[in-house]
A and B are shown apart, each in its own frame.
Chain A
Amino acid sequence: MINRRHFLTTVAIGTASAAALSACGNGSSSSGQTGSADKPVTINYTWWGNDDRAERTRKAIALFESKNPDIKVNGNFTDFAGYWQKRATEAAGGGLPDVMQWDLSYLRDYGQRNQLLDLGTVKINTDAFEKSLLPSGQIKGKQYGIPTSTNAFAVYYDPAKLSSLGIAEPTGKWTYKEFNEFLTQVGAKSNGALYGGTDYTGVWWMFNIWLRQNKIQAFTSEGKLGFSKDDLKKWWNLTANLRGTGTIIPEDRVTQLAPKSPFGSNATATEVTWDNFMAGYLGDSGAKELKLVPVPSDDPDNLGLFLKPSMLMVASAKTKFKDAAARFIDFMVNDPEVGQIFKTSRGVPASKTQRDGTTFEGTDKLVVDYEKSIEKYLKDAPEPPIVGFGTLEASFKRIASDLNYGKLTIDGAADAWFKEAEDLIKQNA
């Protein structure tokens, strides 16, 4: 039978260790060793992506090694979400890999905190880059990242779905009112079988474009918010009458379909997002053809569009092999053969040398053609977003989702986002 003292001891020990476990996070340690001093030197390169990108990257690395026998590249990859957690832990331990694929959202977090190498101090050829693109890799005059490729915002649609509903294909010259009417038409004509689209006001970058159309800066150069709460309310009011109707897909369906997008799951007729998602959407939806048109704007001469670096190449500030890292980055962004390997899977190659050396066919061509067609509307790329931007982007999406669930009013949503944003800016000041 159960003896009291023995029992209590067991419980106490069990409780103590269980409680103790709850306190320790899952700080997985990671190796950040640098290469040996012997020849050839070994540099570490890490990227995020799927198997397809891994295969292409391995090909590119093999090509680089054959052209540069004095450098070995040790490659390593994870998915996007896990990628940033790993980098954070490595940075805390002072062991970031020598060269890394990077995202604009995190450039300030690491660049401003002296984790990244100023690539202006090493030899990388940037002559073949658009002048307007390079500043997006700069912070206070220092070039922390070199864009590999560009992407731009667009409205995707499936021509087959529209023609079966008897709806004319859009031209991409539309105001927000016309765009809303178009979405409403899809919902009405399909009798609820197909929604017009997702609530585009939940997408941070679309909001950013709308701000640019209205000549408002999203962030000031001091790292403060450049827009007011009223601007945000006005933005969320654009689709106020469409939420909860057949025009916009209900939020619970969006949640169910995640991580696939509603458009990729054939639940909506349109999607407003980056143009390099083409291959992913084609694969997910099984559609024969998808087309791209520009986003709506109330000012036909100012679409607010810009080319964003879809990804950047950066080096660790603490790398022991600056020269080797620079040569690898130069190769990855400029070499035409690398362009042939990646096509538009990283976005449209940013360097003209690489772009001209790549042949684009099929869906790759559609993306390149779209970016050409909007050339005259393009404005300078935005500055690297503020520190902690990744968090703000996520909370924008989350709060807009609560809005669609009817958990928040537009005023309440704007208050909630501003509170989080101001708290974050204060925190990182």
Chain B
Amino acid sequence: MTQSPTLSRRSASSTPPLPRKSRQRGTDARAGYTFLLPWLLGFIALTVGPMISSLYLSFTNYNLFEPPKWIGLDNYTTLFQDERFLQSVGVTVGYVVFGTPLKLAAALAVAMLLNSKRRGQGFYRSAFYAPSLIGASVSIAIVWKAMFGDSGPVDQGLSFFGINLGGWVGNPAMTMPMFILLTVWQFGAPMVIFLAGLKQIPGELYEAASMDGAGPVRKFFNITWPMLSPVIFFNLLMETIHAFQIFASAYIISNGEGGPAGSTLFYTLYLYLRGFSDFRMGYASAMAWLLVIVVGIITLIFFRTSKSWVHYSGDSR
């Protein structure tokens, strides 16, 4: 999209006999930008603007009532002496590191099951996709809290098998597994993308492999995995970023406090508490920017390492 103005300029200068075409291109670009305008204005006013102001606020002491006071890097340096902040980092990293791979594994496994030709696959696809549509909602968080509470269905089900854990919600050791289950259960969105990716893999490859006597494991690692690697990469990236932003379910399940014993104090929840309940907007802004930077670095690392394991069709390398 952004290339069309350059192209038209080049064609205008190097090939003068074709002015009509270039004018045509220019109008196209103008029309394109005109259609883009509503989104662009919204993006600048509602995203870029607030981001820039939050960058400024992150260097200030701002309590919402009084004008912000410039304090330089103080917010960033105090962050690392704040035990609650370090706790929130620990909680969030644990969630991302364990939750994301498990969720993707579940998504890929189910996608492969649903890729075979059987009757009623359309129904199963919708059924497995549904949780990811509603999973982030407030109502599901409330249901989850009830399910994992004292003598809730999970507690009762487990004690039927002789496992007596009690309620998970009040037990600091069990809240993280509960949140990881909640995210794994929402595997639908990456599953659909995996499914689309699986459908793109030519059947001849599997046929040829079968002829050569390859078993299902061999086929998975030598055909499915490399052919699907761009999709895996995409899902891994998106789900990782997504996991860093967990907020609503943590807010609901812990009554907005990050308890018990700080075990659900996710990064964004602490950010929210700092900003809107302690009125330390500067501090919260610094946290937000640190998150943006860290997520940016992680994305960069993913892209760097992707060269060694992600294969694109048409790549000669």
Contacts and interface: CB of A to CB of B under 8 A. Distances in A.
Given A92-B65, A256-B149, A256-B167, A22 B313 contact: no
Given A21-B47, A398-B257, A416-B83, A255 B169 contact: yes
Contacts of B292: 19-20, 22-23
Contact of A24 (B50, B200, B238, B255): B50
A312 B163 CA distance: 51
A392 to B, nearest CB: 10
B299 to A, nearest CB: 5
Interface string B244-278: 11000000000111011110000010011001111
A23 B288 contact: yes
Given A110-B65, A427-B61, A7 B259 contact: no
Among A14, A25, A259, find the residue whose CB has the most chain B CB atoms closer than 10 A.
A25
Interface stretch (B105-113, B181-189, B215-223, B229-237): B229-237
Given A3-B314, A251-B170, A394 B234 contact: no
A21 B169 contact: no
B76 interface: no
Interface in A53-86: 81, 84-85
B150 A256 contact: yes
Nearest to B145: A256
Nearest to B62: A92
Given A22-B292, A25-B288, A255-B260, A92 B170 contact: no
Contacts of B83: 416
B10 interface: no
B257 A15 contact: no
B257 A22 contact: no
B313 A1 contact: yes
Contacts of A23: 50-51, 54, 288-289, 291-292
B260 A405 contact: yes
Contacts of A428: 63
Interface in A9-33: 10-11, 14-15, 17-27
A126 B238 CA distance: 61
B315 interface: yes
Nearest to A251: B260
Contacts of B231: 2
Interface in A379-421: 388, 390-391, 394, 398, 401-402, 405, 407, 416
Contacts of B224: none
Contacts of A124: none
Nearest to B149: A256
Contact of B65 (A18, A91, A253): A91
A185 to B, nearest CB: 25
A38 B47 CA distance: 39
Interface residues of A, number: 53
Interface in B45-65: 46-48, 50-51, 54, 61, 63-65
A228 to B, nearest CB: 22
Nearest to A416: B83
B260 A1 contact: no
B241 A19 contact: yes
Interface string B273-286: 00111111000100
A11 B260 CA distance: 37
Nearest to B291: A22
Interface residues of B, number: 60
Interface in A237-273: 251-259
A15 B230 CA distance: 15
Contacts of B149: 256
B312 A4 contact: yes
Contact of A92 (B64, B172, B262, B296): B64
A109 interface: yes
B66 interface: yes
A113 to B, nearest CB: 4
A401 B257 CA distance: 12
A22 B243 CA distance: 11
Interface string B21-51: 0000000000000000000000000111011
A115 interface: yes
Contacts of A91: 64-65
B226 interface: no
Contacts of A19: 241, 292, 295-296, 299
B174 to A, nearest CB: 9
A124 B207 CA distance: 89
Contacts of B271: 25
A88 interface: yes
Contact of A15 (B65, B150, B241, B255): B241
A394 B172 CA distance: 19
A252 B171 contact: yes
A418 B172 CA distance: 24
A22 B295 contact: yes
A407 B172 contact: yes
B9 interface: no
Contact of B51 (A24, A258, A407): A24
Among A24, A91, A251, A428, find the residue whose CB has the most chain B CB atoms closer than 10 A.
A24
A7 B230 contact: yes
A88 B64 contact: yes
Interface in B160-186: 166-167, 169-172
Given A11-B234, A23-B51, A110-B65, 9 more contacts: A2-B231, A4-B315, A15-B237, A20-B47, A25-B276, A26-B272, A256-B170, A407-B262, A427-B280
The list of the 8 closest CB pairs from A to B, nearest first, reads: A252-B170, A255-B170, A4-B312, A256-B170, A113-B65, A1-B313, A92-B64, A405-B261
29 contacts: A1-B313, A3-B312, A4-B312, A7-B234, A7-B312, A10-B234, A11-B234, A11-B237, A19-B299, A22-B245, A22-B268, A22-B291, A23-B50, A23-B54, A24-B46, A25-B272, A81-B256, A84-B277, A91-B64, A91-B65, A110-B65, A113-B63, A113-B65, A252-B172, A255-B169, A390-B277, A391-B277, A405-B260, A416-B83
